[in-house]
Amino acid sequence: MNDPIPTFEVAVLGATGRVGQEYLGILKDHPWFKVVEVTGNTKIGQKLGDVVENLPSPMSSLEIKESNPSKIESRLVFSPLPTDIAKQVESNFSRAGFSVITDASPHRMDQDVPLMIPEVNPEHLGMLRKNFTGDHHLPPKSKKKGFIVATPNCTTIGLAMTLKPLHVAYNVSKVVMTSFQALSGAGYPGVPSLDIEDNVIPFIDGEEEKVAKETNKLLGTYDEKENAFKPSSIEIYCSCNRVAVIDGHLESVYLEAKDRISDPESVLSNFKSIPQKLKLPSAPERPIVVMKEKNRPQPRLDRMVGNGMSTVVGRIRQDNEKALQYHLLTHNTIRGAAGGAILTAELLCKIFDGII
C-alpha cells in the first residue's frame, strides 16, 4: 500500500509573467503541489487575481511579494524568471536555503547544479543526496542548505530524450541536429510577424551552443566519489532555426553510433524510465511515442501527444549499420518549460521524501 503523498507548499517566482502564468495554470490542479506564495517584479502587494485572469479562488487571493528570500516561507520554489534576473535571484534563494527548480539558462551548466530530464538522468539527483548526507528529505530551510535544480533548453529536451535509449543501446558518437523551432520559444512579444511571415529565420542566438553542451551533460554520468557530473563526449552539431509555427519544436536528427544499430524503433518506443515507474503525476505513459506514418510528426497535429509531455518520433530511417535519421517533436512550452520543471519537482519530492 502506498502512503499518501503529502501536499507540498510551493512558491512561484515571477508568477505574473507569461511563463509564470503557465506554471499557475498547471499547478492549480496539481495533486501534490499547492501554490501558497507568489512573487512579481511589479505590482507588489496587489492580489494575484487582480493581475492574472481566470485563477481559482484560493490562488487569486494570494498577495504578490518581492522575489526576495526573506519574504518567502515555502521551501520549494519554482523559478520561471526571465534570464536576465534569474541568475542572481536564484542564487539568492539557493544560498538562503531554498530548493529552487528553474527552467532558466544561467545555472544549467553550473558544476553543482543537476540539469534534469527526469526520464533521462534521474541519477543526477544523487548529487543533492550527497550534499545532504543522512538526510533524504529536502533540507529544512533553517539548515540553510539550499540548491538549484535546472531543466534544459526546450530544444535540448527532445534531442536528449531520444538520444538516451539510443546511446545506451548503440553508443552514439556523433549527432547532426537541425531544428524547426516554434514562435512561442522566443517568448512574448518575441518574433515580429514581419520577420517570420513567408520566411524562416536561420539563427537563434546562443541556442546551438546550449543544445550541444546541455545534451552532453544530460547524457553524462554523476560520479558519486568525485561528486561531479561527467559529461558524455558525443560530437554534436546543431543548426537552430525559427519557423512560423505557434508551439512545438520539430527536429531533424542524423546520428552515428560506434555499435551496430538494429531495431531502433523498438529501442525508442520501449523506452520507459523512473517517472513512469513511479507514476509521477505529470509523467506521460510513454516518454517517446513513435509514429509510423511517413509524414509525421507534425507540430500542429502531434504536439499535444501525452498531454504535451511526450516526445514524438517519426521517419526513422537507417541507411547503413551505423547511421540513423529521424524526426522528433517536443512541445516547447509544456515539456520544454513548466511541465518539465514540475515533473522534475515531482521526482525530487518523491525521491527525497522517502516514499520509495
Kindly tell me which of 96 and 244 has the beta carbon lying closer to a copy of itself. 244
Q: Contact between 159 and a copy of itself (CB under 8 A)?
A: no
Of 314, 336, 339, 340, the residue at the interface with a copy of itself (CB under 8 A) is: 314
Q: Contact between 180 and a copy of itself (CB under 8 A)?
A: yes
Stretch that binds a copy of itself, among 20-28, 125-133, 135-143, 200-208 (CB under 8 A): 200-208
Q: Contact between 163 and a copy of itself (CB under 8 A)?
A: no
Stretch that binds a copy of itself, among 121-129, 190-198, 217-225, 262-270 (CB under 8 A): 190-198
Full DSSP string of 49-109? HHHSSS--HHHHTPBEE-S-GGG---SEEEE---HHHHHHHHHHHHHTT-EEEE--STTTT
The kind and range of the H/E element at 208 are helix 207-218
Stretch that binds a copy of itself, among 2-10, 89-97, 133-141, 247-255 (CB under 8 A): 247-255
Q: Contact between 241 and a copy of itself (CB under 8 A)?
A: yes
The answer to whether 17 touches 71, Cβ cutoff 8 Å, is no
The least distance separating a copy of itself from the CB of residue 287, rounded to whole angstroms, comes to 20
Of 5, 36, 109, 201, the residue at the interface with a copy of itself (CB under 8 A) is: 201
Does residue 30 have an active-site annotation? Answer: no
Q: Contact between 331 and a copy of itself (CB under 8 A)?
A: no
- Of 99, 100, 90, 108, nearest to 155 (Cα)? 108
Q: Which residues pair with 99 in a beta bridge?
A: 76, 147
Of 327, 331, 335, 350, the residue at the interface with a copy of itself (CB under 8 A) is: 327
The kind and range of the H/E element at 12 are strand 8-12
Of 46, 63, 188, 260, the residue at the interface with a copy of itself (CB under 8 A) is: 188
Q: Contact between 178 and a copy of itself (CB under 8 A)?
A: yes
Buried b (16+ CB within 10 A) or exposed e, 116-148: bbbbbbbebbbbbbeebeeeeebbebeeebbbb
Inter-helix orientation angle 339-352/18-27, to 10°: 50
Q: Contact between 244 and a copy of itself (CB under 8 A)?
A: yes
What gap in Å lies between CA 104 and CA 127, rounded to an integer?
20
Binders in 80-119 for a copy of itself, by CB under 8 A: none
Of 29, 84, 197, 226, the residue at the interface with a copy of itself (CB under 8 A) is: 197
Q: Contact between 191 and a copy of itself (CB under 8 A)?
A: yes
**Count of CB atoms situated within 10 Å of the CB of 237:** 13
Q: Contact between 129 and a copy of itself (CB under 8 A)?
A: no
Label residue 297 exposed, middle or buried (CB < 10 Å: 0-12, 13-18, 19+): buried
The least distance separating a copy of itself from the CB of residue 214, rounded to whole angstroms, comes to 17
Does residue 349 have an active-site annotation? Answer: no
Q: Contact between 306 and a copy of itself (CB under 8 A)?
A: no
Stretch that binds a copy of itself, among 38-46, 72-80, 128-136, 244-252 (CB under 8 A): 244-252
Q: Which residues contact residue 160 at a Cβ distance below 8 angstroms, ignoring those fewer than 6 apart?
A: 117, 120, 152, 214, 215, 218, 219
263: phi then psi, degrees, rounded to nearest 5:
55, 55
Look up cell 524526426; give the residue.
327
Q: Which residue among the candidates 30, 154, 167, 238 is catalytic per the annotation?
A: 154
Sign, CA dihedral 194-197-199-203, equals positive
Residues with catalytic function? 154, 249
Q: Give the residues lining the site for a copy of itself (CB under 8 A).
A: 176, 178, 180, 183-184, 188-203, 237, 239, 241, 243-246, 250, 252, 254, 294-301, 314-315, 319, 323, 325, 327
